[in-house]
Amino acid sequence: MLWSWGYFAFDLMWCVVSWTESTLMLCHHFCALAAITMYMNKPYSGCTFGCSIAMLECTNPLLQTRWLLRNEGQDATRLYYAIEILYLVTFIMIRGVIGSYAVYKILKSDMFATDEKAMAVIFYVVSILFIHEILGYISYKYKQKVQEYRENTVNYISTKINYIFGRN
């Protein structure tokens, strides 16, 4: 747990110093530090902590690969788009779908203390806000591409119909 605490503390400091991340990301790091500190002071919950970190951070390699490709000028490649789409889909599935189920089970369970349930709800809210940001990003970035694809498809079909019926 100490390694995770160190990672989040370093990343939080990096975000504060460089100020390149949103307030939501800072909140995510702060909540992670609070949760890790809470679990470090308990005589149990190592498994819960491990599963939570794995679920919350398993999309991080995709996010970092996407960042690296973008910074290297490879953001127009198929690899970049594949990683971006994979990241977006897995993030929404893990945080939105699996996360919803996990929080539901945590809240219904008698095994978790009130502070653990509260932390689960806090992380769930942060995850939902991240999903909202991601959906806004998808709408912003891909709306024009979808519209261009539709226009090209309509033009292609129109050209084929005109060719079939002998219209020029």
Amino acid identity of residue 114, one-letter, is: T
Cα angle 69, 74, 77; round to 5: 115
Using alpha carbons, list the distances in angstroms from residue 110 to 53, 105, 152: 21, 10, 56
The pLDDT value given to residue 151: 75
For the stretch 94-125, pLDDT in tens is 888 988 998 899 899 898 888 888 888 888 88
The pLDDT value given to residue 120: 86
The pLDDT value given to residue 167: 66
Using alpha carbons, list the distances in angstroms from residue 36 to 16, 41, 106, 152: 20, 9, 17, 51
**Closest to 31 (Cα-Cα) out of 124, 106, 153:** 124
Q: Which residue numbers in the chain have pLDDT < 70?
A: 1-3, 45-46, 167-168
145 phi and psi angles, rounded to 5 deg: -65, -40
List CB contacts of 126: < 8 A, sequence separation 6 or more. Answer: 24, 27, 28, 31
The pLDDT value given to residue 20: 74
The pLDDT value given to residue 150: 73
The pLDDT value given to residue 65: 93
